[in-house]
């Protein structure tokens, strides 16, 4: 029987993780591989999707076809839509016809199995084996919500990066699911491929903006757009960015680069720019929507600073770059509810990264 693997991805970094897993032979052979992209932004109709991001064209070569999940469930939002149980047979027949699956045996490779769209897709193919991949820190914690055993028992393994050496993922262990590492050399190879293809960094803004090309490598500051997650107010987030500037200055760095979250308003860098001007340090605010890992290779920063970004542990584990955190304890102290998906990343960064 022919096998078709369907890979669900919503971010460029997640797609890079899938590409590395395929390059390293972590997944069994298949007659056909479909990359199913999903845009989770609040207004996906007006937000560029994954397939328009710089470097995506290089990653899509690992797949036979790229399809759009948003188009399948429109006008519903992919993060909210779930099928009614009685409609599942109809949906499976429709997707098999729409995607040309015929009687192929389907295997699914998804992230964030606890919530749509991954859980919805797994419900629509009740006979499909499932592999879960994790490109961040959430997999190190237990499963946040009860998973239907009809889904959980079909999961074969959790593919993950070795961001905390020696620590095993707890995700889905209640179903006896084993963790499996995506080899770091394969991940670095794919990330290097993306960095080599990335466009030149866009123009900078900021008081005394530097280009990170001086004798001393710059410190890289990572924004996360935490106010969009209701973890802090916009004013508090601007102050957090200013605190990153002060912290890097206190560590002796005078050439700084700030990478905002791609979805964050440009105004969120204003206080950081003002603080850099007050301290007399050079600050560059990047306009280009690039991966942090691309900047690690392009800029070779001397320090990476953030709140609880996965990029902090990526920098240390994969690139050997020193890292520092800012504001992590305050966010962790008021995080609610207890099973908030950010609790494990916050806890790990708070415990493992110096302030």
Q: And the tokens for 16? A: 């890079």
Same domain, 241 and 159: no
Same domain, 221 and 131: no
Phi then psi for residue 4, to 5 deg, are -115, 125
Domain that holds residue 278: 201-352
pLDDT at 183: 97
Same domain, 150 and 14: yes
pLDDT at 339: 83
In tens, the pLDDT along 209-265 reads 344 445 689 999 999 989 988 999 999 999 999 999 999 999 999 999 999 987 788
Same domain, 331 and 288: yes
pTM, two decimals, is 0.91
pLDDT at 197: 85
Same domain, 140 and 222: no
* CATH number for position 187: 3.40.50
Question: CA 343 to CA 345: how far, in whole Å?
Answer: 6
In tens, the pLDDT along 185-223 reads 999 999 999 998 877 765 454 443 344 445 689 999 999
Taking residues 85-92, what's their average pLDDT?
97
Extract long-range pairs of 247-251: CB within 8 Å, 24+ residues apart.
247/305, 247/324, 247/326, 248/219, 248/221, 248/281, 248/303, 248/305, 248/324, 249/279, 249/281, 251/219, 251/303, 251/324
Same domain, 51 and 117: yes
Same domain, 247 and 148: no
pLDDT at 205: 47
Tell me how many domains the chain contains. 2
* CATH number for position 303: 3.40.50.1980
Domain end position, chosen among 170, 192, 214: 192
Same domain, 337 and 286: yes
pLDDT at 287: 81
Same domain, 78 and 188: yes
Question: CA 332 to CA 231: how far, in whole Å?
Answer: 9
pLDDT mean across residues, the chain: 92
Q: Among the listed ranges 27-31, 133-137, 209-213, 255-259, which one has the minimum average pLDDT value?
A: 209-213
Same domain, 23 and 129: yes
Same domain, 188 and 284: no
With a cut of 80, say whether residue 274 has pLDDT above it.
yes
- Strands in 282-285's sheet, in edge-to-edge order, are 282-285, 255-259, 219-222, 303-306, 323-325
With a cut of 70, say whether residue 134 has pLDDT above it.
yes
């Amino acid at each position: 029987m022919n096998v078709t693997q369907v890979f669900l991805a919503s971010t460029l970094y997640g797609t890079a993780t899938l590409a590395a897993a395929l390059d390293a032979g972590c997944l069994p052979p298949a007659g056909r591989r479909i990359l199913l992209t999903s845009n989770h932004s609040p207004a996906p109709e007006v937000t560029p999707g994954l397939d328009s991001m710089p470097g995506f064209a290089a990653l899509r070569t690992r797949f036979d076809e790229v399809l759009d999940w948003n188009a399948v469930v429109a006008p519903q939002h992919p993060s909210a839509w779930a099928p009614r149980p009685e409609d599942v047979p109809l949906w499976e027949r429709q997707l098999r016809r729409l995607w040309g699956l015929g009687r192929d045996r389907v295997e699914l490779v998804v992230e964030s199995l606890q919530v749509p769209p991954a859980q919805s897709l797994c419900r629509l193919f009740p006979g499909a084996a499932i592999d879960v991949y994790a490109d961040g820190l959430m997999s190190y914690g237990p499963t946040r919500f009860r998973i239907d055993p009809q889904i959980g028992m079909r999961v074969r393994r959790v593919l993950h990066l070795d961001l905390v050496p020696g620590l095993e993922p707890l995700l889905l262990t209640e179903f006896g699911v084993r963790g499996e590492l995506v080899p770091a050399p394969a991940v670095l190879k794919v990330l290097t491929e993306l960095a080599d293809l990335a466009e030149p960094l866009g123009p900078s803004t900021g008081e005394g903006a530097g280009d990170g090309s001086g004798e001393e490598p710059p410190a890289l500051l990572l924004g996360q757009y935490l106010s969009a997650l209701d973890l802090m107010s916009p004013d508090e987030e601007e102050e957090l960015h200013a605190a990153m500037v002060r912290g890097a200055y206190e560590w002796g760095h005078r050439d700084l680069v700030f990478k905002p979250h791609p979805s964050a308003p440009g105004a969120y860098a204003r206080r950081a720019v003002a603080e850099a001007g007050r301290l007399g340090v050079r600050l560059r605010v990047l306009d280009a929507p690039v991966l942090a890992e691309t900047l690690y290779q392009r800029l070779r920063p001397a320090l990476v600073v953030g709140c609880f970004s996965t990029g902090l542990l990526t920098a240390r584990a994969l690139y050997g770059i020193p890292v520092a955190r800012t504001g992590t304890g305050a966010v962790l102290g008021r995080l609610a509810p207890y099973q908030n998906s950010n609790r494990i990343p916050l806890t790990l960064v708070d415990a493992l990264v110096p302030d």
